[in-house]
Chain A
Amino acid sequence: MRARVVHIASNTFREAVRDRVLYNLIAFALLLSGAAILVGQISIDIEKLVVINLGLTAVSLFGVVIAIFIGIGLVSKEIEKRTLYTVLSRPVRRWEFIVGKFFGLAGTLVVNTFFMAIGVFAALFYVSHKFVRADALILVALYFIVLEFLIICSVALLFSSFSSPLLSAVFTFSLFVIGSFAEDLRGFAGMAHGFTRWLVTGAAYLLPNFSAFNIVSSIAHEQPVAAQLIWQNTLYAIFYATMALSGAVLIFEHRNLK
């Protein structure tokens, strides 16, 4: 059983890695890191700040785009075209398919992030000529970005399990945007009354909340990150991804494949 999940995951990874779209996006992200160096030279004092801010934001945004493109492309497309028929006619459980896809995608994104991070660190070294202790914070920021990706992947799978590729992409991207403004949504909930309040509060917990993951601007100012935050963010990502994946499994289990 576990072996099948691993096979599906590695196949997904292989298929994703060979998709040319991936390389274009990575190249673009690296380009942006390079551009950060130029932008930073406008003001010597904030060179490092700009490299970190722009570089990490690029990693985050492009990663999300990749997650959506590849994720939707791999899963929704597989469901829409009939690749899936030949897989499911084998002793593969539907839930194994979903879980395997998830790990394959997650693995792809981790590898992606790794390469893009190298670009950021290279740019950083270029402007600072050395690494300081505080630069380790960048690793924490990258870790949080990867956690965000895990959540996005699980959401992409959730939508893919019942929706067309285009709609899945749109919904997933929307959730990413909403997730970034999640704190404001909770603020709205706090100001609402009665039934609306319940509804908005429920939505605020149901929708992903990335506010605790966005530490880019604070680590750019070299503010430390509490160890407990790392723990809690990890747990949140695990629970949220589990929820979305379970939802995907539940829906997919009952879907008639036309």
Chain B
Amino acid sequence: MNAIEILGLEKTYLVGFWAKRPNRALHPLHLTVEEGEIFGFLGPNGAGKTTTLKLLMGLVFPTAGSARILGQEWTDPEVKAQIGFLPEQPYFYDHLTAHELLNYYAQLSGVPARERSRRVESTLHRVGLKDVHGVHLRKFSKGMLQRVGIAQAILHDPKLVFFDEPMSGLDPMGRREVRDLIEQLKHEGKTVFFSTHILSDAEALCDRVAIIHKGELRGIGAVEDLTSSVQGKVEVIWQGTQAPASMKALGAECHVTGDTVRAIISETQQDAAIDALRREGLRLIALTPVRTSLEAYFVEKLQHAETTAGRTT
């Protein structure tokens, strides 16, 4: 079963006060997310990521199209018991404590009464919030609020989790923790759908990604495929402080960094390079294929879209 099936969801807003002009926030979107995968939904700010999420959550009603979540109609309220949602920059009730808030959410999600406090405690622990008994949410820092947000999304052990910018507001340690958490979720068999504009996170975590820009889907595929070594280049790193003539002869551009040298050569010259280093008596440290980054793919897709639309960059 597919975790998410988006069947042509689209949203057009009417903007303006007197003469309403249509603003297409989302062109008809067709997308499938498989169970158990981490799916990244990428795009620049204002691309339509949040709109898509809001449509799926039933916060906004589509102009056309439908979707299925975990095999059921996306408007079915009961399906919400099995999903979790972390909105962008969440805001909570000022005067409650984290425990009270999570307890409230647990109640609403239908967690049985006897299990609630245990779940709340373990989830708080899991997101790294310690010693927050009796502290009102008003006093939480941005990072802490983000963790609370994540907590409420996974509290009821949902099968499918939606995160909108899960890393925002977190310091590098926090981001690392969230990355680990997301991987854990996958190991537990959950599906994670998260939207972000930070590509390195997506590259590290996701199985598949989709790129959306100005409300339209621009590209979709497995991260591995998208970043495969298209160029057929390899990177050679050896110990040393200078570039030997033989390497330069292979047409390599050498960069010295401390006591290592890096050079990029084409795949076909790989063996020749290894021989050259051996002859020179230089110690080979690493030989890795160069992968295009997700960023390059991303930028290329966006630029392609701009030019096809007839606009000059």
Contacts and interface: CB of A to CB of B under 8 A. Distances in A.
Q: Do chains A and B touch in the complex (CB under 8 A)?
A: yes
A43 interface: no
Nearest to A93: B77
Interface string A83-121: 111111111110000000000000000000000000000
Contacts of B58: 88
Given A11-B104, A18-B95, A92-B77, A86 B83 contact: no
Interface string B102-120: 0011011110000000000
B298 interface: no
A228 interface: no
B91 A82 contact: yes
B59 A90 contact: no
B100 interface: yes
Contact of A4 (B78, B86, B108): B108
A258 B87 CA distance: 12
A85 B96 contact: no
B200 to A, nearest CB: 26
Interface residues of A, number: 26
Nearest to A81: B91
Contact of B60 (A3, A7, A86, A257): A257
B100 A14 contact: yes
Given A7-B108, A85-B57, A85-B59, A14 B85 contact: no
Interface string A20-52: 000000000000000000000000000000000
A86 B90 contact: yes
Interface residues of B, number: 36
Given A82-B91, A85-B87, A91 B60 contact: no
A83 B91 contact: yes
A89 B80 contact: yes
B85 A89 contact: yes
Contacts of B90: 82-83, 85-86
Contacts of A90: 80-81, 105, 108-109
A84 B60 CA distance: 12
B259 to A, nearest CB: 52
Contacts of A85: 54, 57, 59, 85, 87, 90
A4, A15, A85, A93 — most chain B CB neighbours (10 Å): A85
Interface string B98-142: 001000110111100000000000000000000000001000000
Interface in A168-207: none
B107 A15 contact: no
B307 to A, nearest CB: 32
Contacts of A84: 59
B104 A7 contact: yes
A15 B95 contact: yes
A150 to B, nearest CB: 24
Interface string B140-161: 0000000001001100000000
B40 interface: no
A87 B108 contact: yes
B93 A86 contact: no
Given A256-B60, A257-B54, A89 B95 contact: no
A89 B91 contact: no
Contact of A86 (B54, B95, B110, B152): B152
B57 to A, nearest CB: 5
A2 B61 CA distance: 26
Contacts of A89: 57, 59, 80, 83-85, 87, 162
Contacts of A92: 77, 80, 108
A8 to B, nearest CB: 8
B297 interface: no
B258 to A, nearest CB: 48
A181 B35 CA distance: 62
Nearest to B108: A90
Contacts of B149: 86
A175 B149 CA distance: 38
A19 B108 contact: no
Contacts of A256: 59-61
Given A18-B95, A81-B91, 8 more contacts: A8-B108, A86-B85, A86-B92, A91-B108, A254-B61, A256-B60, A256-B61, A257-B59
13 contacts: A7-B108, A18-B136, A81-B91, A82-B91, A83-B93, A85-B85, A88-B58, A89-B80, A90-B81, A90-B108, A90-B109, A91-B110, A256-B59
Nearest first, the 6 closest Cβ-Cβ pairs linking A and B are: A89-B85, A18-B95, A85-B87, A7-B107, A81-B91, A257-B59
